[in-house]
Amino acid sequence: MSAPRPLPRVRWLIFFFLFAFTVVALIQRTAVTVASERMMPELGLSQMQIGWLETSFLISYTALQFPGGVLGQILGPRRMLTFSGLIAVAATLAMPLLPFAASGRLLFETLLLAQFILGAMQAPLFGMVSGTLERWFPSRQWALAQGLVTCGVGLGAAAAPAIIASLMVSIGWHRALVLVALPTIGLIALWWRQGRDTPYVHPAVTAAELAELDHATQDLSATPVSWRRLAGLVRNRNLAGLTFSYVAMNFVFYLITFWGFLYLVQARHFSVLQGGLSAALPLLAGAAGAGAGGWVAGACTARFGASTGLRIVPLITLPASAALLLLAVHAAAAAAALAGLAAAFCLLEMNEASFWAASMEIGREDAVAAGAILNTGGNLGGVIATPIVAALSDAGNWTAPFVAGTACALLSAAIWLAIDPGAPATARATIPAPQPALQPG
């Protein structure tokens, strides 16, 4: 008789939900930039005001990373992602609906508030993703899983310009933003029904799946929050260096994801529909790069260990991305510029898995908080980039932002030489595991 086929691992169902949440998040956060081409003349907004809307999102998104991550570590992924997801949907719907209730200065102020709330609700997301992967996956799969999740980021960012621009042309920007927001409610309902905080409490998890985890006999991933451990994370030299490197890398990330559409329309003279479709190409390349980077980082970690293996991808791809970014902005042909941006962003996004797997290696049971610290710094890159790019582009200067991005990519690579990405901040605690009824493996 043939041996029974192994049951599918529940961790990949959890991964699917995390992947979907990241796709949704990027669609929500880039919707305003894409819709701004129609919003500005209709609502009387300037390009600088659009920049302030993006900055409002980034201020709350950055400032609340760590507090939101700590709250999420206390509440658990199931409750936190449900609560924050529902409010984020309401904030997204406010953008197309508020113009029917207000105008002028009041409208701009309420739009700022809606973007601020959206940023606050998305702030815990990537820390929660990181902590949930730490709980559900063996460490040998962390880099791969993080790379695949970042594919979701790229796909969401790529989908937003293409989908929203197409819908804007056919049904207007108000209906377009409503239409892309509503399906998220169904995703949240399914997550509440199927998601669990740890594999130890999910009724479909088998003993065989638990045995594959690093903490196979103890639910160490659910260690209670310790303020002493969190303070140690904040002071940790390796996490601080990793975070500063992420600040520099994310200057380039936000430059391309938030401003790529307007760059193609204004500097390269694409039409709105052409710009929406073409702006998706670098982001799709970035999604592919993220997946490839996760696989390569995982293989390098398995071969050389985390301390050496997680450095390899950043030290190669970040300088290469910097060179391509500079070539792209100085290319004479629009097609060559688009190809250069796509290649640069592909190489840039190959690094996401290395950053996030390193934060998990350093944080371990506090991976949510470590990821929140990392993403706080990462989004400071966006806070820095957004007003700078808005001011320079409003003056017609699109070259200077890309030159600055080149310098930031090189700085990001250099910092990796000074940190140990595989050194845990603290030793694991030892706590008894819960004893749920398990299905036979």
Three-state DSSP state, 258: helix
Give a yes or no: residue 434 inside a domain.
Answer: no
C-alpha to C-alpha distance for 59 and 287, rounded to whole angstroms: 25
**In Å, how far are 65, 131, 211, 375 from 76, measured between CA atoms?**
15, 9, 22, 19
CA 86 to centroid of chain Cα atoms: 18
Residue 432 has pLDDT above 50, yes or no: no
Does residue 157 contact residue 341 with C-beta atoms inside 8 Å?
A: no
Per-residue pLDDT tens digits for 138-194: 888 888 888 888 887 777 767 777 777 788 888 888 888 888 888 899 999 999 999
Residue 370 has pLDDT above 70, yes or no: yes
Number of C-beta neighbours around residue 274 at 10 A: 15
Copy the structure tokens of residue 369: 């908080």
- Domain of residue 92: give its range: 10-418
**In Å, how far are 118, 120, 155, 284 from 123, measured between CA atoms?**
9, 5, 19, 23
Give a yes or no: residue 102 inside a domain.
Answer: yes
Give a yes or no: residue 432 inside a domain.
Answer: no
Please, is 323 exposed, middle or buried when counting C-beta atoms within 10 Å of its C-beta (0-12, 13-18, 19+)?
middle
Number of C-beta neighbours around residue 9 at 10 A: 18
**In Å, how far are 32, 224, 338, 391 from 219, measured between CA atoms?**
42, 11, 48, 50
pLDDT for the residue 316: 96
C-alpha to C-alpha distance for 53 and 31, rounded to whole angstroms: 11
Count of the separate structural domains present in the chain: 1
C-alpha to C-alpha distance for 108 and 99, rounded to whole angstroms: 9
C-alpha to C-alpha distance for 382 and 254, rounded to whole angstroms: 5
Copy the structure tokens of residue 426: 């603290």
C-alpha to C-alpha distance for 375 and 115, rounded to whole angstroms: 18
Q: What CATH number is given to the structural domain containing 48?
A: 1.20.1250.20
Copy the structure tokens of residue 47: 């390009």
Three-state DSSP state, 225: coil
The per-residue DSSP string of 182-240 comes to THHHHHHHHHHHH--SSGGG-TT-BHHHHHTSTTTTS-GGGPPP-HHHHHHHHH-HHHH
Residue 436 has pLDDT above 50, yes or no: no
Per-residue pLDDT tens digits for 246-261: 999 999 988 887 787 7
Please, is 353 exposed, middle or buried when counting C-beta atoms within 10 Å of its C-beta (0-12, 13-18, 19+)?
buried
Give a yes or no: residue 73 inside a domain.
Answer: yes
Give a yes or no: residue 439 inside a domain.
Answer: no
Give a yes or no: residue 307 inside a domain.
Answer: yes
- Tell me the pTM: 0.74
Q: Which residue has the tokens 């520099």?
A: 248
Number of H helices and number of E strands within the chain?
A: 18, 0
Minimum mean pLDDT range among 44-48, 199-203, 309-313, 329-333:
44-48
| C-alpha torsion 39→153→119→372, nearest 10 | -160
pLDDT for the residue 217: 46
Give a yes or no: residue 440 inside a domain.
Answer: no
Mean per-residue pLDDT, 210-233: 70
What percent of the chain stands above pLDDT 90? 31
C-alpha to C-alpha distance for 88 and 123, rounded to whole angstroms: 10
Residue 427 has pLDDT above 60, yes or no: no
Give a yes or no: residue 43 inside a domain.
Answer: yes
Copy the structure tokens of residue 430: 């030892």
* N-term to C-term CA, the chain: 18
pLDDT for the residue 429: 45
pLDDT for the residue 27: 83
